Amino acid sequence: MATGRSRRPPQRPRRRGLHGMAIPETGRPENGLRMCPTRIDKAAVLFAHKVTHPQCQKRQREHYHKCFACVWNNAYAAAKDAVPVAAAGPRRPTMRAG
C-alpha cells in the first residue's frame, strides 16, 4: 500500500553524546569557528562548542577549565611551533636625534 511518500536514502548514523546531542567529527576550523575544546590527545569530549577566535582568547584569559588540554591553547601552540632563535650578537647602542 503506497502512501505517496518517497523513502529517503539511508544516511550514515551520527555519533551521539549525552542527551542525544551530536558529537562533532573533527576539531578543524569551520567558517572561522573552533571546536572548544579540541583535545591535544584527540580524545572525544563530552560537550563541545563552536566558538570564535575572540571567544577562545577570552576563555583562556579567564582560565576556562578545559583550556589546559586544548590544541588552541596559546602556551601549547607556542611550544609546538617554537623555532629556536639564533643567539643574538652584541647590541649596538642607539642614538636619538634631538
Which tens digits make up the pLDDT trace of 19-64?
555 555 554 555 788 888 989 998 888 888 899 999 999 999 999 9
pLDDT at 27: 47
Is residue 52 a part of any domain in this protein? yes
Q: Which of 2-16, 26-40, 58-72, 76-90 has the highest mean pLDDT?
A: 58-72
pLDDT at 81: 78
Is residue 9 a part of any domain in this protein? no
Within 10 angstroms of residue 50's Cβ, the number of other Cβ atoms is 14
39 Cβ contact list (under 8 Å, min separation 6): 27, 45, 69, 70, 71
Residue-averaged pLDDT of the chain: 74
Place of cell 571546536: 35
65 Cβ contact list (under 8 Å, min separation 6): none
pLDDT at 60: 92
Is residue 39 a part of any domain in this protein? yes
Is residue 87 a part of any domain in this protein? no
Question: How many folded domains does the chain comprise?
Answer: 1
